[in-house]
Amino acid sequence: MHPTPRGRPSLALSVVLAVLGAVLLTGAAAPAEVRVEEQRVTVAGGPGSDGPVALDTSLYLPATTPAPAVLVAHGFGGSKASVDADARDLAARGFVVLTWSARGFGTSTGRIALNSPDHEVADARALVDLLAARPDVTQDAPGDPLVGITGGSYGGAVSLLLAGHDPRVDALAPVIAWNDLGQALFPNAAAATPPPADTPAHGISAPDGVFKSGWAGILFSAAAGPPSGEPGAAAPPGGEPPITCGRFTAEICAAYAEAAGTGRLSPATAELLRRSSPASVADRITAPTLLVQGEQDTLFGLDQADATARQIAGAGGRVKVEWFAGGHDGAAPGAAVRESIGEWFAFHLAGDGDDPGTGFTYEVPSGVRAGASTPTSRTLNAPAYPGLPGTAPLLSTPLALDGAPQTVVHPAGGTPAAITSLPGIGSALGAVAGRLSAAAADLPGQSATFATHPLEASLVVAGSSRVQVTVSRVPGQPAPAEAVLFARLVEVSPDGPRTLLGGAVAPLRVPVPADGTPVTVTVALPGVVAPVESGNSLAVSVATTDQAFTGGVEPAAWRVGVTGGLTVPVVPAATDITRTVPLGALAGIAAALAVALLAWLGARWYGGRAGAPTAAADGPPLVIRDLAKTYAGGFSAVKGVSFTVEKGMVLGLLGPNGAGKTTVLRMLMGLVRPTAGTITAFGAPVGPGAPVLARIGAFVEGPGFLPHLSGAENLRLYWEATGRPAAEAHLEEALEIAGLGGSLQRRTGTYSQGMRQRLAIAQAMLGLPDLLVLDEPTNGLDPPQISAMREVLRRYAARGRTVLVSSHLLAEVEQTCSHVVVMHRGEVVADGSVAEIIAGRGAATFTVDAPERAASVLADLAGVRSVEVADGAVHAELNGTPRADAVRALVTAGVDVTAAGPRRRLEDAFLQLVGEDRTP
C-alpha cells in the first residue's frame, strides 16, 4: 500500500490486507544460495492509460540454472513483498522465481483495472517475455520459457487469466481465486424457471444479482489513496478520476459507484467484470491446473473453484482440486498447500517426483482446537473431483424437511439486519465472530426455519446443498415487486445450539406475482465442508436481511415455505488419508527408525504383552537413588545422582552441556544400563523391557520418524508396535496436542524441525502415560508454540500425572515447572521447588539512586558476595545477611532505596550453582 495522510487503517481493512495481500505467505527463510535481483520493468499502459507503466519486480535465482520458472502473483492490497517467503521457498526447490507488484500496488505505477486482459494480464504476458529472454530459464522453444504461475485471490485470478490468454504457461496453481467476478460480487442463487438445456451449470452471471456490498466496500477501500507519482501514473485521457476512486481506473470506479448506489449489476458492469473473469477463458486453459480453494470463504466460495474445474475439464484440460480449512474468512493456506504447489510444479515443470494426479482432497474440521486457537482437522481424498468428465457423479443424500409455510417480515430500511458473516475480520475474531454470527443470524420475525429429523448416522456435507423454496405475498400486506431473501444451512444440536455452516448465505432475488401466486425457486446453498453428528439436525433458514449484502429498503411481508426435502452432497469413494499406510512403507522401518526409537518400541511392546501395571501401583512416579554411569575408558557421566519426582509435579532437569542429563534420561527409559544405583517408577524397578515402561511416555534425543509416511501414519504405526489395544492410544487427544492441522497428512520427510518436535511430543503422549519424560521439547518451536507447550504440560500434570522435562530454556523452566533438579559434572547440585532454588542463597535486587555507591556499600557487608550493577539496579548474593540489614546499611550511607526484593530469576540461581560452566 502507498502511505496516505489518512492515518492507520481500520481493524477490518488491516485484517483484509493481511488476508488478501499475504494469502500465500507461509514459507520459511530461504537458504543462502538463493540470489535476488531487483528490477523495474516498463510495460505498455494499455487502453485508457497515458504512457507506460513501471512494474517493481524481484527475480529469485536458485543455486543451479538454467531451471524452470514460476511467476508468483500477490493478493489484492499486497505487493511483491507479500509473497517473498513463497518465492524463496520455490527458489530453494530449484525454480527461477519472478514476483512483481501489480500496477497500482507497492511502488509499481499505473491504475488498478481488476486483472483486465489489456492491463494486468498483459503485464503478466510481458513478464513471460522477460523470462523467455533469460539464459538462466529453461526454454521450451525460442521465446517460450518453461514457466508456471501461482498466486492467491487477486493473484490466483491473474494466474488463470494468463493461462487462458498465453499458451506458453505450462502449469498453474491458483489459490482462492474467483471464476466469475460478477457472480461472486452479485450472487443470485435462485432461478424461478429452469435454464435452457444448453446453459452450463456455472458461468458468467446474468445481470441483477444481489450486491455483496460488505466485501465490495472493503476491497474498494483497500485501494484507497492516490496512485504513485512516478512517471507513468499520469491522468488518462479525459482527466484525472476523482480522488474517491483511489488507485482504480475511471471505468472501475464508475462501475463501483453505480453498484453501491443501486445494489444491482447493470449489463455494462457485468460485461466489465466478465472480461476480468477466468470464466471467460477457462475453456482455453490446457496447462495442468491445481485449483486450491478455501472452505471458509464468503468472498470467493467453493462454487467459484467448482465452476473453474468444470470449465477446464469440460474443454479437455487436466485439473486437480484441493480444498483447505481456511480462506478469506479463515486461516491463510499453510504448509500443506505450499507442499502441494511445490510438488505440482516439480512434476509438471521439472519432471521430478511422483505424478500428483487429478484427485480431489478436502479437509474436514474436527470441532476441537489444539491449544487456545489452532483448529484441527482430518483430510479426505477422492480419486477424482466428482462430476467432471469421466468421473463418478457427486452423491446426494435427500433429507426430509419439516415445517409449514411461515410469514417473514422485511423491516423498513432493512435494519436491523442479520449478521451471518463479518467480511474481512472473520479470521481475526475467530471463535468470537462465530459466536456473534450464531447469536445474531436469526432476528425475530425475519426468518423462516425448516429442519430435518435428527440424523440417524453422521455424515460429512461436502459441497452445495439444494432446496426448493416457495415465496408468495401475504394478502393485505405491503410488498414490492420482488423479494430479496437470504438462505443458509444450519446444524442444530438436541440441546439447542445452532451452528451456521460455512458462515455464509445464499442470496436470492425473486420476482413475486402481485396476484399472490407462489413462486418456486431452487436454491443452491453455500458450498461447505462440515461433519454433522448423528442426533443433530440440519435446518434451512430463509431470512429477509443480511448486513453483508444490499437488500431492499421497502417494508414487506412474505410467505416462505419449502417443497420436497434438502439434498445434501456427499463425496463418493472418499478415504481418510490419515488412516492410509502404504504397503511398501514397512520395508524401510529398520533403516529409518533411530536406535532410541527402536529400543523404546521394544519396551512398549514388552510392556503391552506382559500386561501394564495398574495405576494403583504403590510408590512415587520416579525415584532415583545413587545412580551412576561409567563408560569404557573410565569416563563417569553420572555420579551418585539421587532425586524423587512426586505425582503432579512438573520437574525440570537442568545442567550445562555434559552435565549428564540425557544419560540419566536414557537410563530411565531402559536404553542404557546404569553402572550403579537404582531407578524405580511407581514402585517397580526400571530396566530394559521392564513392564512399568508401559506407564512412561518419552521423547529423548530427537524424533525418529519414517520420512515417507505422514505424521498421522507414523503415530498409528508407532502405537501398533506397542502391542496394546488401539482403544488405549487416545489418538485424537495426541493429534490435538500436536496442533499440526492438515500437515498431519504430509510426509514427515517434508516437516520442519518444529513440526517434527510437536509430532514427537504427541507420540510420547500416546496412551496418556502416567509419567511423561521430554528431552528439550521446545527445540525448533516458535514463541507462541512454546507458550502453548507450557500450558499443555501444566494441564497434563494437573490431571494427576507427572512430567519430567530436560530443557536449556531457563525462563521456560521457571514458568512451566514446579520443581527443579540441577546437575553439574554428573552430580546433583540442587534439588527443590523453583522458589526454593531461586531463593537458595538470598539473591536480592536493590533499586537505588546511586547504583555504584550502593554496590560499594553492599560489598563491604560481612558475608555478602557477587555484587553487580546491571540495568540500573544492584544485585547481590546476601548469604544469610537479612535484607533489612542491607537496606539499613544503604540508607545510613546516604543511598536512597526505592525498592528491595528477591532476585527471582532461575537463570541467576543456575549460574551461581554451576559456576563458570554456563551453557545449560
In terms of DSSP bridges, do strands 53-61 and 395-399 run parallel, antiparallel, or are they unpaired?
Answer: unpaired
With a cut of 70, list the residues of the chain below it in pLDDT: 1-32, 189-207, 225-243, 366-377, 424-441, 495-496, 573-618, 632-633, 700-704, 737-738, 780, 808-809, 838-842, 880, 902-920
Q: What is the pLDDT of residue 195?
A: 35
DSSP state string for 523-540: EEPPPEEEEE-TT-EEEE
CA–CA dist 147, 168 (Å, integer): 7
pTM of the model: 0.63
CB 769 within 8 A of CB 796: no
Residue 213 belongs to a domain = no
Q: Is 414 within the bounds of a domain?
A: yes
Q: Looking at the domain assignment, is residue 698 inside a domain?
A: yes
C-alpha cell, 161: 487469466
CATH of the domain at 712: 3.40.50.300
Last residue of a domain, one of 303, 332, 358: 358
In 3D space, the residue among 506, 509, 503, 502 whose CA is nearest the CA of residue 410 turns out to be 509
DSSP codes of every residue in 526-592: PPEEEEE-TT-EEEEEEES--TTS----S-EEEEEEEEEEEEEEE-TT-EEGGG---GGGGGGHHHH
Q: Is residue 236 part of a domain?
A: no
Closest CA to 791 of 816, 827, 754: 816
Residue partners of 267: CB distance under 8 A and separation at least 6: 207
Assess whether 463 and 344 both reside in one domain. Answer: no
Verify that 325 and 425 share a domain, yes or no.
no
Contact between 781 and 805 under an 8 Å Cβ cutoff? The reply is no
Q: Which of 456, 452, 465, 522 is nearest to 491 (CA)?
A: 452
Count Cβ atoms within 10 A of the Cβ of residue 831 and give its class: 0-12 exposed, 13-18 middle, 19 or more buried. Answer: middle
Residue 205 maps to a domain = no
**556: domain CATH number?**
2.60.120.260
According to the model, what pLDDT value does residue 906 have?
Answer: 58
The answer to whether residues 18 and 102 belong to one domain is yes
Q: What's the grid cell of residue 297?
A: 470463504
Cα angle value 657/661/662 (rounded, 5°): 95
Q: Which residues pair with 530 in a beta bridge?
A: 461
Residues 746 and 722: beta-carbon distance below 8 Å: no
Q: How far apart are CA 866 and CA 862, in angstroms?
A: 12
Q: 364 in helix, strand or coil?
A: strand
Using an 8 Å Cβ cutoff, are 305 and 293 in contact? Answer: yes
What does the pLDDT read at residue 405? 94
Residue 883, in any domain of the structure? yes
Cell, residue 663:
544419560
Grid cell locating 838: 531461586
Q: How many domains does the chain divide into?
A: 4
417 and 483 share one domain: yes
CATH number at residue 844: 3.30.70.100
* End position of a domain, from candidates 776, 809, 833: 833
Phi first, then psi: what are they for 906, rounded to 5°? -65, -30
Residue 617 sits in the same domain as residue 754: yes
Say if residue 729 is in the same domain as residue 799.
yes
For 750, the grid coordinates are 517434508
- How far apart, in whole angstroms, are the C-alpha atoms of residue 357 and residue 211? 38
Alpha-carbon span 163 to 599, nearest angstrom: 54
| CA torsion, ordered 712, 718, 719, 723, to nearest 10 deg | 150
Cα gap 631→637, rounded to integer Å: 7
Same-domain check for residues 767 and 829: yes
808 with 652: CB under 8 angstroms? no
Together in a domain, 804 and 844: no
Same domain assignment for residues 715 and 663 = yes
Task: Please report the pLDDT score of residue 207 as a whole number.
Answer: 44
Tell me, yes or no, whether 660 lies in a domain. yes
Query: How far is Cα 777 from Cα 791, in angstroms, rounded to an integer?
Result: 13
Q: Which residue has the cell 500500500?
A: 1
Give the structural domain span for 471: 397-575
C-alpha cell at 318: 487436466
Residues 99 and 80: beta-carbon distance below 8 Å? yes
Do 566 and 597 lie in one domain? The reply is no
DSSP state of 234: P
Indicate whether 855 and 802 sit together in one domain.
no
Q: Which of 833, 855, 890 is the last residue of a domain?
A: 833
Closest CA to 185 of 291, 302, 263, 104: 263
State the CB neighbour count (10 A cutoff) for residue 657.
10
**Per-residue pLDDT, 738:** 66
pLDDT of the residue at 205: 34
Specify the pairing of strand 819-824 against strand 650-654: parallel
Instruction: Kindly state the cell numbers that stand for 902.
Output: 528477591
pLDDT digits (tens, 9 = 90+) for 803-817: 998 876 677 787 888
Residues composing the chain: 920
Here the contacts of 751-757 (C-beta below 8 Å, separation 24 or greater) are: 751/705, 751/711, 752/28, 752/335, 752/780, 753/779, 753/780, 754/780, 754/781, 754/782, 754/785, 755/335, 755/711, 756/703, 756/705, 756/780, 757/703, 757/781
Contacts of 632 (CB under 8 A, 6+ apart): none
One domain, residues 609 and 696: yes
Give the 3-state secondary structure of 640-701: EEEEEECCCCEEEEECCCCCCHHHHHHHHCCCCCCCEEEEEECCEECCCCCHHHHHEEEECC
Residue 192 lies in a domain: no
What are the grid coordinates assigned to 136, written together? 538462466
